[in-house]
Structure 1
């Protein structure tokens, strides 16, 4: 399997989720009619379908407040409405900026390293590359491949866990009401009609439940699926980009240390400078990819950063105060998914910050003192530039790193403690 095929394979689930959401970020052979539907109609159709339920939830919440329903009943709907808005906030920039999105993925795909290689041995048993050139840099090539393999394995593990959480939330919210109805029918002979969410429609679903409830139930299930696909697709793509960018920064560090650390002859100054120019161009290219990723996710990251404390504290509040087993099971999975969402953004941003900053340390650790004056000047520029790390922000409101994640957790705990105090009084 080639390097590009491995890259595409690692993003397969992300690609399918975003395609179902109406976002296409890769060029491939597809039926023209289907391609037109995905590019121009599917995303808006999904939004229309979803917001029929979101508007109904808002109306139900407003009427509940007017009618004096308990805070516990109202609090159940607040996280559901918020995560719908968050899913749209994450997917909308990706759809509107499909050109930039496609370019980011294409550039990462083109520079993805080959984790297998195609090498042969000469008669002396020494390693050669595809061009038959004797390889003196075997160690660094092996190290680069190890870095790439570790990055792919790490990404697959994290995304499998995140996919499990998204599927769990979808399953509990959509199937538990149906299973509860079946149980009531089996034990009492009468089943009370239940739905995944409380939604106010323009027709009375209580009176006409015998004929209309399967259609309403199906509509809410599809709406939940749309939210799950938007969340998983946008978050997994973000983390994939962060993971592969930090991988390239780490490979760049190895190349810098090895290039300046190996023995060069007195006539190799021009070759050394040209190779270092390639490293500089790769560093500039990675910096530009980070800038484009910041443009795609900046405002959705801000919305995610602001709402995460709200989602986490309300989910925890419902889990600890609700007496309904169904709600507890649903919101336990919802709580873990909310934690996973913000942790993916903060940890991904932290990976980029640390790996880009470590490039300056790699320059310092190299044998820079044996380089000529021209190369020393180039190295000094890279050293100075890398000391200002690449970073992703929440619309410049906060940097995405582990410190930001800790801030979200502290705020969530403060809000949770306040809600518990108010509820106990």
Structure 2
């Protein structure tokens, strides 16, 4: 049987290499290794955060000089996403040892699958890989489209203005500098700086989320394989209690390994998930507000893609958390669906112990403040809609 985790990991490793992270490689604290494997990450980190600092300073300066609410909120989602990208990538960078430990745990669980029908196993694994490929493909496409729209929109505006008036009026994707950025001496560099900064944000969020989806898919697939093995642990005839005890012991070890993987995954992502939950409320609210409030059709389309990206990002995060909760609970149902009623009292008692243990819910949380599931997604949407209504109320007096 092909290994789901390793095959799926290959599809996102290239994303991480673009911003200078090597997930599955041991990096020593030597000058040679730091220069070879860390320098690109450090350069990209500094590159992105010069833009982030400029955006924050622009917001502060704008608030002090009485800029309109629409202008201020047009930059706020960008700041939010930049900070989110930083936190997500740093959560992996600072937990490098935990990431490698998680990889080892997931591989160990997969390598210990030595019972059950091979045809059924291959079918379950194939379904997991198919679903994951579709999600990562959609993730890459929507992030690429969003970056492209923000990159191309200024060029379109320059072209339309030249056609209309015969003059070249330089435009940038984001107006965030305290000096005049439209001087031809600075504009080309600043334009490329903003495009690559936007690309870094997209790559970092897509990469860290893609790894999260890969780990969750591997865990959910292992739960499904475990359920199948538990359901078929008791044969139709010729029940051998010694063989049964040995198989049950192996299944219990696998179950424990899967749950340990969930604990390890949460320890890596818990803090960034908490910020993701909080920031997504404002991202969805502000992106929706900018889509409806900005007068330029080009920027409206760009912020609409921004809104769709934000919705998709938090929805998938909650969806995969929900899938882990659901698949962990179904292990208990698998015990009930086995032929427990055909065995002796001692064997049935062992199955009952497994069932009781499986009823202890395995889940991911946002640093303990909220469960990562679809219920949390609806709460985020509800809060975003409330803040959106408040912003629209504040906008009307300003326009009046």
**Category of TM-score, reference length = shorter chain:** over 0.9
Q: How many corresponding residue pairs?
A: 395
Q: Distance in 1 between matches of 2:362 and 2:238?
A: 32
Alignment match, 1:342: 314
**Equivalent residue number for residue 181 of structure 2:** 205
- For residue 191 of structure 1, report the CA deviation from its aligned partner: 1.6
Match for residue 330 of structure 1?
302
Q: Distance in 2 between matches of 1:355 and 1:191?
A: 58
> Is contact 2:228–2:334 with CA below 8 Å preserved after alignment?
yes
Residue 143 of structure 2 corresponds to residue 166 of structure 1: yes
**How do residues 21-36 of structure 1 correspond to structure 2 at under 5 angstroms?**
21-27=19-25, 36=34
Shift, 1:113, TM fit: 7.8
What is the Cα deviation at residue 178 of structure 1? 2.0
Question: Residues 43-192 of structure 1 correspond to what in structure 2 (within 5 A)?
Answer: 43-112=41-110, 140-192=117-169
Following superposition of structure 1 onto structure 2, how do residues 260-279 of structure 1 map, counting pairs within 5 Å?
A: 260-265=234-239, 268-279=240-251
Q: What is the deviation of 1:105?
A: 2.5
Residue 155 of structure 1 and its aligned partner are, at CA, apart by 0.7
User: Equivalents in 2 of 1:320, 1:76: separation in Å?
Assistant: 11
Query: Could you tell me how far 1:224 is from its partner in structure 2?
Result: 0.9
Instruction: Note the C-alpha offset of 1:372.
Output: 4.0
1:15 corresponds, among 9, 13, 16, to 13
1:91, 1:329 → 2: CA distance?
28
**In structure 2, distance between residues paired with 1:217 and 1:336:** 24
After superposition, give the CA deviation of every residue in 1:32-74 in whole Å (9 maximum; x if it has no partner): 9996446433322222111111111111111111111110000
What secondary structure does 1:259 align onto?
A: coil
Residue 260 of structure 1: SS of its match in structure 2?
A: coil
SS in 1 for 2:186: helix
Q: Give the structure 1 partner of residue 354 of structure 2.
A: 382
CA distance in 1, matches of 2:5, 2:369: 32
> Is 1:416 paired with 2:393?
no
Q: Secondary structure at the match of 2:184?
A: helix
The answer for the alignment partner of 1:289 in structure 2 is: 261
Correspondence for 2:228 among 238, 247, 254: 254
Structure 2 unaligned spans of 5+? none
Q: Offset of 1:221 from its aligned partner?
A: 1.2
Q: Per the alignment, in what secondary structure is the counterpart of residue 368 of structure 2?
A: coil
Q: 1:365-376 residue pairs with structure 2 within 5 A?
A: 365-376=337-348
**Cα distance in 1, alignment partners of residues 211 and 21 from structure 2:** 12
Instruction: Note the C-alpha offset of 1:422.
Output: 2.2
How many Å apart are 1:8 and its aligned residue? Answer: 3.6
Residues 33 and 167 of structure 1: CA distance in aligned 2, closer, same or farther (over 3 Å): farther
Alpha-carbon RMSD: 2.4
Deviation string, structure 1 residues 63-90 (Cα, Å, up to 9, x no partner):
1111111100000000000010011111
Cα separation, 1, equivalents of 2:267 and 2:308: 28
Measure, in 2, the Cα distance between the counterparts of 1:175 and 1:382. 57
Structure 1, unpaired ranges of 5+: 116-128, 130-134
> What is residue 225 of structure 1 aligned with on the other side?
199
SS at match of 2:329: helix
Q: Partners of 2:133 and 2:82 in 1: how far apart?
A: 26
- Contact 1:113–1:148 (CA under 8 A) maintained in structure 2: no
Measure how far apart 1:103 and its partner are: 2.5
Change (3 A) 1:330 1:114: farther
Alignment check: 8 A CA contact 2:153 2:299 kept: no
Contact kept in structure 1, 2:216 and 2:321, CA below 8 Å: yes
TM-score, scaled to structure 1:
0.87
Between the aligned partners of 1:18 and 1:382, the Cα distance in structure 2 is 39
